[in-house]
Chain A
């Protein structure tokens, strides 16, 4: 298991992060039914009072060596015979969201106006604790341990600027030769190999221009996401995957940002 924060990782006192998403996908729980909405809600009722139901996330699997290294498409054409909803459980302060369905478990941390970023090492223990509670529930109800197939970690950043043309002050990806930049969208991906040299995950980066709803300000949304297969189906392997994914994301973030941006966001090392 990697250290929660290796010494070589840069740290920022005020990063532009607005959302961090930790997720695992597992072999579906065959006997999962609508009754489990109540059981899951009860399991997390002390910390998550809000409840909603949403369409399920599709299963997806990272593959390599194909002709289309583009992100997997969401194929709503092929739907399971019975649609089982994704449950949303939200904390009272709005900072945490649990998303649970018969083959997914996801925790979102979201910045609210008064929330400080707790950093990955502050979020991961919550994810582990909630996942353990969920595993206890599934184990007792179905006699089935979760068998992890894919993991994903996503960091969503919003970089605020006075005009889109200012973007190159913060991000090396944004061209500085364009005077009146109206919009921008840029994506790329890289393949990650495990210790045995086997391709097992992919890092995706996307920069998109965005506007404030009030129309006064603009900025850029920078999404960094790692998804792939853990080394085995155990929970410990999934946690290890997420720790390694965090390192990849933070290192990529550092590569993409300018010294001006680092100073603005309080890079401490």
Chain B
């Protein structure tokens, strides 16, 4: 089961069943907390995420809004999906409107992704060698962003 919104109570017919080699308590706990180890990028940025998560209103001295938890969670998921060992983790910066941006300035590329909220990203790439600039609005499909990262890694 991949999502923990399906739950069994003691009265459910399903509660008579246990996955092989597990107690019922372990089963319930696993459904709540089981996860694989995080990607390198997410592990590396964990402290940053935590810090941002605790930013109070006015954190930047100019009325900055606290970082939206859904926005942070979505950003974490995106980075989890994109993480690769041949590129360093991006810089992660909070924005005063409560959103986040992650960016690389590497291998003659500027690559910036502003996460306005879940499934809402503005992506910008500047190829400093060719002078070519590109902008994309992405929702759930990260394929284009992955191709940009391929280009950046290939120029290493």
Contacts and interface: CB of A to CB of B under 8 A. Distances in A.
Contacts of A140: none
Nearest to B81: A66
A111 B16 contact: no
B140 interface: yes
Contacts of A70: 36
Contact of B2 (A57, A80, A204): A204
Interface string B28-64: 0000111110110010001001100110000000000
B78 interface: yes
Interface residues of A, number: 72
A62 B142 CA distance: 11
B132 interface: no
Nearest to B50: A78
Interface stretch (B17-25, B88-96, B102-110): B17-25
Contact of B141 (A58, A156, A158, A199): A199
A111 B118 contact: no
Nearest to B66: A81
Interface in A159-218: 182-185, 187, 198-200, 204, 206, 208-214
Contact of A62 (B24, B32, B50, B140): B140
Nearest to B73: A59
Nearest to B118: A61
Interface string A69-86: 011111111111100000
B74 A112 contact: no
A63 B9 contact: no
B142 A73 contact: no
A253 B39 CA distance: 33
Given A200-B140, A225-B3, A229-B119, A59 B14 contact: no
A65 B146 contact: yes
A235 interface: no
A78 B80 contact: no
Given A67-B81, A76-B33, A76-B35, 4 more contacts: A74-B32, A78-B72, A187-B2, A212-B17
Interface of B: 1-9, 11-14, 16-21, 24, 32-36, 38-39, 42, 46, 49-50, 53-54, 66, 69-70, 72-74, 76-78, 80-84, 118-119, 139-146
25 contacts: A18-B14, A21-B6, A57-B4, A63-B141, A65-B141, A67-B146, A68-B39, A72-B2, A72-B80, A73-B36, A78-B49, A79-B53, A103-B70, A110-B13, A154-B1, A154-B5, A185-B19, A199-B141, A206-B1, A210-B19, A210-B20, A223-B2, A227-B3, A228-B140, A229-B139
Interface of A: 18-19, 21, 23, 27-28, 55, 57-68, 70-81, 90, 94, 97, 99, 103-104, 106, 108, 110-113, 149, 152, 154, 156, 158, 182-185, 187, 198-200, 204, 206, 208-214, 219, 221, 223, 225, 227-229
